[in-house]
């Protein structure tokens, strides 16, 4: 926060930083001190509005016509971070990327490995499929473009807000421009929490697919599962995977977790979710 404020001040621009608490009470006293900075507005929201709604509220509060969205667990380690975004102020949407610092603590290794293998994509991978590799942790957008799309607030559970927003941009034919301006993703989850969140995110993904908000082909495992289902292989697949389920989980907790085991788990979870909704 202080780093961003410092860089904005140095760039000699009109700016404001809006910080919003999303019903969490963990850092209230620390964060309250932010209000002492002249260009910071601190809003403590009592209820948890969800990740989609809170971003819309933030945008509604913003008074200038260009928005930079940053997740609260981002750290800035480059002195030209703000300047890079200022250089891109004429394009509609810019994504700067994310990176991870090496982790040694075993508790966080799964999230870290997943992060470097699946989320921190290099620039050339990102520009090959700009919408697929868009994430909402670190992006700049023209306010009027944001207001024409907005985050879908029917999403209140965790997961895939990014994919849905990116897909909506694509539908509106809004180009996502990628640059090399990553933030450090600092808020890693412990392996148990990460697995729990992945499970939740899998449910949310299927909610999105089944309600027709996003095609199955836009998310990795919903795409895979749909293919398997087309070949009618989902039951044998689930039978095999559920035998190995405890082993996958055990492996993911080890020191060199293989993300493919998480992929298998997601397919298995997908099967349970989809067959459950079929029954209903």
In whole angstroms, give the CA distance from residue 81 to residue 68: 11
Residue closer to other proteins (CB basis): 148 or 277: 148
**From 24, 175, 227, 275, residue interacting with other proteins (rule: CB under 8 A):** 175
In whole angstroms, give the CA distance from residue 75 to residue 64: 23
> Measured over all CA atoms, what is the biggest interatomic distance in the chain, rounded to whole angstroms?
62
- Within residues 185-224, the interface with other proteins by CB under 8 A covers none
CB 207 → other proteins: shortest distance, Å?
31
Residue closer to other proteins (CB basis): 22 or 92: 92
CB 134 → other proteins: shortest distance, Å?
12
- Within residues 259-278, the interface with other proteins by CB under 8 A covers none
List 176's β-bridge partners, or say none. Answer: 93
φ, ψ (nearest 5 deg) of residue 73: -100, 25
Residue closer to other proteins (CB basis): 133 or 185: 133
Specify the stretch interacting with other proteins by CB under 8 A; choose among 33-41, 61-69, 89-97, 149-157. Answer: 89-97
Residue closer to other proteins (CB basis): 64 or 80: 80
Q: Is 116 in the site for other proteins (CB under 8 A)?
A: no
What does the CA dihedral 140, 209, 225, 129 come to, rounded to 10 degrees? -30
Q: Pick the closest to residue 258 from 117, 120, 125 (CA basis).
A: 117
φ, ψ (nearest 5 deg) of residue 62: -70, 140
Angle at 38 between CA 62 and CA 56, to 5 degrees: 20
- Within residues 12-51, the interface with other proteins by CB under 8 A covers none
* 137, 76 Cβ separation under 8 angstroms: no
**From 29, 36, 104, 124, residue interacting with other proteins (rule: CB under 8 A):** 124
The single residue listed with the structure tokens 């700067």 is: 96
- Within residues 55-84, the interface with other proteins by CB under 8 A covers 80, 83-84
**From 40, 56, 130, 199, residue interacting with other proteins (rule: CB under 8 A):** 130
Site of interaction with other proteins (CB under 8 A): 80, 83-84, 87-88, 90-92, 122-125, 127-128, 130, 175, 177-181
């Amino acid at each position: 926060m202080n780093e961003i404020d410092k860089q904005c001040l140095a760039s000699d621009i009109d700016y404001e930083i809006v910080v919003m608490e999303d019903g969490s009470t963990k850092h209230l006293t620390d964060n309250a001190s932010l209000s002492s900075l002249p260009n910071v507005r601190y809003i403590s929201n009592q209820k948890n509005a969800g990740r989609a709604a809170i971003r819309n509220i933030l945008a509604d509060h913003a008074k200038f016509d260009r928005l930079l969205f940053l997740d609260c667990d981002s750290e800035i380690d480059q002195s030209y971070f703000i300047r890079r975004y200022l250089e891109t102020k004429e394009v509609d949407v810019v994504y700067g990327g994310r990176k991870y610092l090496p982790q040694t603590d075993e508790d966080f290794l799964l999230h870290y490995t997943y992060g470097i293998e699946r989320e921190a994509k290099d620039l050339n991978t990102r520009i090959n499929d700009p919408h697929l590799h868009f994430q909402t942790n670190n992006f700049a957008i023209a306010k009027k473009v944001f207001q024409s799309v907005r985050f879908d607030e029917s999403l209140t559970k965790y997961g895939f807000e990014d994919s849905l927003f990116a897909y909506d941009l694509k539908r509106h034919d809004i180009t996502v421009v990628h640059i090399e301006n990553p933030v450090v993703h600092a808020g890693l989850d412990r392996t148990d929490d990460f697995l729990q969140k992945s499970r939740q995110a899998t449910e949310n993904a299927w909610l999105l697919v089944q309600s027709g908000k996003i095609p199955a082909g836009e998310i990795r495992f919903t795409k895979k599962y749909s293919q398997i289902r087309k070949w009618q292989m989902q039951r044998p697949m689930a039978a095999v995977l559920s035998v190995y389920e405890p082993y996958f989980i055990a492996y993911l907790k080890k020191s060199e977790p293989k993300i493919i085991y998480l992929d298998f788990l997601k397919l298995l979870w997908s099967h349970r979710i989809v067959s459950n909704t079929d029954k209903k």
